């Protein structure tokens, strides 16, 4: 067991107050421990934590490009193997880097079976460049490249199923987690880094600036995502879902109405049909993962 009281991510970083990804970085390092080499992609976390020479990382850390973290990690892992070293290699990358531009390198690294853990901190858009849509952006969210307008309800596409894609690569351990449940998150990180082979973890990390809510509500909102079924915390071992967090579900409005990115669904008029479509996404998640506690 790693000592989870260790602080390996320094204050002084430049994340927005209440930033979900900043909290995720702290918690991930607690779960992974000191003997970890982190590979980051270009994005908010990289930028807020490493303006030269003020690094916030107390573990060895490397950033190369937006889309190549998993390939860099493959090289790090191969080198450690050759040298007989035992550090764990962990990628921590944004959803844009993971779902979109980096998928070639990720697919390659997972297919080759490197002993790495790839963690996506999912804030559901390209935040660093000003809140543009990614394949992780949820249905109907308004972003700067999928804006809601007179003839648009925002992002028209559903979230891509990255855990499913990586499970299909034969990853021995795939899981989702949320900063709302820190103990669960840290335990999943610890399990992933100690599972031989390529493991994938997708962590829900609300972004107050990009989603439009007050930074004090970051944890509350993460919880609501789970309580509405719009985010499911689950574990997959060898491609089978072995565990999913069960909830007494709340209506999706409770989650949506707290965020500016969904405001167009409530004002100037309530868009009942659109909200019903989002409710249907939650219902299908609940069905797929069996999360409903019936009361």
Partner 1 sequence: MLKITEGSHAVAEAVKFCRPEVIAAYPITPQTHIVEALAEMVANCELDSEYICVESEFSALSACLGASAAGSRVYSATSSQGLALMFEVCFNVAGMRLPVVMSIANRSLGAPLSIWNDQQDSISLRDSGWMQVYAEDNQEATDLHFIAYKVAEDHDILLPAFVCFDGFILSHTYEPVDVPAQEEVDAYLPSFKPYQRLDAADPISMGMYATPDYYMEFRYEISRAMERAKEALKRAGREFDEEFGRDYSAPVEGYRLEDADTAIVALGSICGTVKDAIDEMRGSGRKVGLLKIRSFRPFPDKEILKALDDVSTVAVLDKNVSLGSGAGGALGLEVKDALYGSGIEVKDYITGLGGRDVRKRDIANITDLAESGKGDMYYGLREEVL
Partner 2 sequence: MVLNIGCAARPGKAGDNKTGSWRVFKPVFNQELCKKCGLCALLCPEGCVTVNDEEEYIPDYDYCKGCGLCAEECPADGAIDMVQEEK
- Asked if residue 94 binds Mg ion (CB under 5 A), the reply is yes
Among 168, 220, 242, 260, binds partner 2 (CB under 8 A): 220
Of 42, 98, 123, 259, the one binding Mg ion by CB under 5 A: 123
Within 10 A of 263 (CB to CB), how many other CB atoms are there? 16
**49 lines the binding site for partner 2 (CB under 8 A):** yes
Cβ neighbors of 276 (< 8 A, separation 6 or more) are none
Is-contact 178 185, C-beta < 8 A?
yes
- Tell me 145's DSSP state: S
Binding residues for partner 2, total number by CB under 8 A: 31
Question: Which span (2-10, 153-161, 188-196, 268-276) binds partner 2, by CB under 8 A?
Answer: 2-10
- In angstroms, the CA 80 to CA 101 distance is 26
Helical pair 103-112 and 69-83, crossing angle rounded to 10 deg: 30
Among 44, 56, 199, 221, which residue sits at the site for ligand SF4 (rule: CB under 6 A)? 44
Q: Is the CB of 42 or the CB of 218 nearer to ligand TPP? A: 42
Nearer to partner 1, 56 or 265 (CB): 56
Minimum Å distance from CB 84 to Mg ion? 36
Side-chain-side CA neighbours of 142 within 13 Å: the count stands at 18
3-state secondary structure of 113: coil
Distance CA 45, CA 128 (A): 8
Q: Mask: binding to partner 1, 38-57, rule CB under 8 A, as x and -? A: -x------xx--xxxx-x-x
Say if CB 229 and CB 249 are below 8 A apart: yes
CB of 41 to partner 1, least distance (A): 11
Footprint of ligand SF4 on this chain (CB under 6 A)?
A: 15-16, 19, 21, 44, 48, 123, 127, 207-210
Footprint of Mg ion on this chain (CB under 5 A)?
A: 94-95, 123, 127
């Amino acid at each position: 067991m790693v000592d989870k009281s260790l602080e390996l991510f320094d204050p002084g970083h430049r994340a927005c107050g209440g930033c979900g990804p900043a909290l995720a970085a702290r918690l991930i390092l607690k779960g992974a421990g000191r003997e970890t080499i982190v590979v980051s992609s270009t994005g908010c976390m990289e930028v807020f934590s490493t303006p030269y020479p003020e690094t916030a990382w107390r573990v060895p850390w490397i950033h190369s490009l937006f889309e190549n973290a998993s390939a860099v990690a493959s090289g790090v892992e191969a080198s450690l193997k050759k040298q007989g070293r035992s550090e764990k290699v962990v990628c921590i990358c944004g959803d844009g880097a993971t779902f979109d531009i980096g998928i070639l390198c990720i697919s390659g690294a997972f297919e080759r079976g490197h002993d790495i853990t790839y963690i996506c901190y999912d804030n559901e858009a390209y935040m660093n460049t000003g809140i543009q849509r990614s394949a992780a952006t949820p249905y109907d969210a308004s972003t700067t490249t999928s804006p809601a307008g007179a003839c648009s309800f925002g992002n028209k596409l559903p979230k891509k199923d990255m855990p499913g894609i990586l499970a299909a690569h034969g990853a021995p351990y795939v899981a989702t987690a949320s900063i709302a449940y820190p103990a669960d998150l840290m335990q999943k990180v610890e399990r992933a880094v100690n599972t031989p082979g390529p493991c994938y973890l997708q962590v829900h990390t609300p972004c107050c600036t990009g989603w439009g809510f007050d930074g004090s509500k970051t944890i509350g909102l993460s919880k609501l995502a789970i309580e509405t079924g719009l985010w499911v915390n689950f574990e997959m071992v060898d491609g089978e879902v072995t565990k999913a967090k069960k909830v007494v579900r709340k209506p999706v409005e409770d989650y949506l109405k707290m965020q500016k990115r969904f405001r167009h669904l409530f004002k100037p008029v309530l868009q009942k049909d659109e909200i019903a479509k989002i409710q249907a996404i939650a219902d299908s998640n609940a069905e797929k993962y069996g999360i409903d506690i019936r009361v």
